[in-house]
């Protein structure tokens, strides 16, 4: 009987330890979002919307209310340090490659919630789900 209780306690302890590990892994992930999901997040939360393309690309067109932090800039690390780590961040670029790399850097820097616009601005450019400012 004593052995049965000890085994049950051990199984319970392993179960708790595993669930804690899984929740830490989930929190460490970057979530890919569609344009529709991005709009919902922007409406529901105080979010930092960041375009990681070059300044030239940003000036041509960008999502309304986004800020530009060029991933290729030599001051990139310094620029992202000015963002609030406790506020959610939504990243986007042209096709998704730069924002994915940036998202990884933000998670490594300790940002809590990082979202990445799936497919970048190119995928959603002609969608009615995002509002763009376009240079005339």
The catalytic residues are 93
Half-sphere exposure (Cβ direction) of 96: Cα atoms closer than 13 Å:
15
DSSP string covering 108-126: HTT-S-EEEETTHHHHHTT
From CA 23, how far away is CA 126, in angstroms rounded?
36
From CA 84, how far away is CA 100, in angstroms rounded?
19
Q: Do 69 and 101 meet the contact criterion of CB atoms below 8 Å apart?
A: no
Q: DSSP class of residue 47?
A: -
Beta strand spans in the chain (E) = 31-33, 48-51, 61-63, 67-68, 89-92, 114-117, 132-134
């Amino acid at each position: 009987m004593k052995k049965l209780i000890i085994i049950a306690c051990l199984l319970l302890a392993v179960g708790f330890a595993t669930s804690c590990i899984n929740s830490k892994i989930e929190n460490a992930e970057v979530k890919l979002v569609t344009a529709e999901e991005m709009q919902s997040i922007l409406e529901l939360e105080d979010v930092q919307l960041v375009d990681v393309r070059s300044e030239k690309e940003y000036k041509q067109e960008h999502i309304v209310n986004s800020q530009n932090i060029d991933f290729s800039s030599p001051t990139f690390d310094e620029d992202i340090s000015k963002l609030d780590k406790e506020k959610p961040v939504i990243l986007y670029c042209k096709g998704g490659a730069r924002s994915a790399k940036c998202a990884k850097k933000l998670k490594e820097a300790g940002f809590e919630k990082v979202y990445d616009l799936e497919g970048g601005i190119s995928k959603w450019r002609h969608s009615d789900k995002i509002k763009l400012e376009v240079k005339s």
